[in-house]
Amino acid sequence: MAEGGARPRRLLAVAGGVAVLLLVGWALGGGHLGALTSSPASGMPSATSARASPSARTSPSPTTPSSPTAAPTTRSGPAPGDPLTVVALGDSVPSAASCDCTGYVERLGASLQRETGRPVTVHNDATGGWTTSDVEEDLGSPSTSRHLSSADLVIIEVGANDFDLDRVDDPACLPAATSSCWSSTMSDLRTGLSHIVSDIRAADRNAQVRIAVVGYWNVTVDGAVGQARGKSFVAGSDALTRAVNTTIAGVASSLQAIYVDAYTPLKGDGSLDPTSALLDDGDHPNAKGHAIIAGAVLDALTSAGAVATWTPRP
């Protein structure tokens, strides 16, 4: 994942028959533009998009300098009370609907509140079973559009449901990165995810929005459930997952988004067994898994300097 107002015009009055130009300094009579602030509702993000129409003002005359008090004031960073808005898009992993636990998106929100000292609002718009095209289409929905309009951070994790996983253990589909089994879907993932990132930037009135794109530890079942399907399945699913992550990371890099590696924290170099971090279905993270992914996202945001940017300075 601009409003403006018309400027009133001024009139110059010329004294008839006299070679003296009289300048009417209306602006010196109190016509300065004041700062406009609004207090957010309790627990809700502030409406950073609201802009006041410019009030009437004239350019200062060469003989009438502007008052120094008219200079606008700017804040170099967020104030402690400014809310931080987080939006999540994607499939069942960020939605955490399968887990009777606090998902990684909400865990991250709590961590950001502790780290920055600011109130954090989380809008989790992820939905189980969604593909990249589903997320792309959802960007136009009223609720998601509203959430994205003032987001400080957007988290995206999608792509696993794009693939026909019935061929994961087909030797003809290896190596996955170059196999014709996946090439068309991989290309569509790259294009769709690129559109999502670009559309988020276009929809968000916050020019400083940070976008984090999260990879997968596996695009299908893993741990004991995956191992029960045999070595060919384990090898094929791992190869496809690595190829998907490479595609996701490439999109993030090309569009100045933050890539979050979820593979290494859960599987190391591929030799770690993630069973203890997964639900019994072998497909979704449990509470431990969500905590691990939340930590990975926070680490990536910290390394990218986002957390420091969001933290008010004394």
**Structural domains for the chain:** 2-74 (no CATH), 84-310 (3.40.50.1110)
Residue 178, SS3 per DSSP:
coil
Q: Is the pLDDT of residue 222 over 80?
A: yes
This prediction has a pTM of 0.76
Give the pLDDT score at 314.
82
255, amino acid identity: L
Per-residue pLDDT, 78: 81
| pLDDT at residue 74, as a whole number | 41
Using DSSP's 3-state secondary structure scheme, residue 214 falls into: strand
Q: What would you report as the CA-atom Rg of the chain, rounded to the nearest whole angstrom? A: 26
Looking at the predicted structure, is the pLDDT value of residue 293 above 60?
A: yes
What pLDDT is attached to residue 56?
33
Residue 154, Cβ density class (10 Å: 0-12 exposed, 13-18 middle, ≥19 buried)? buried
**Residue 83 has which token pair?**
């809310």
Asked whether the predicted pLDDT for residue 149 surpasses 60, the reply is: yes
For range 138-167, the mean pLDDT? 97
Half-sphere exposure for 144 (CA within 13 Å, toward CB) = 22
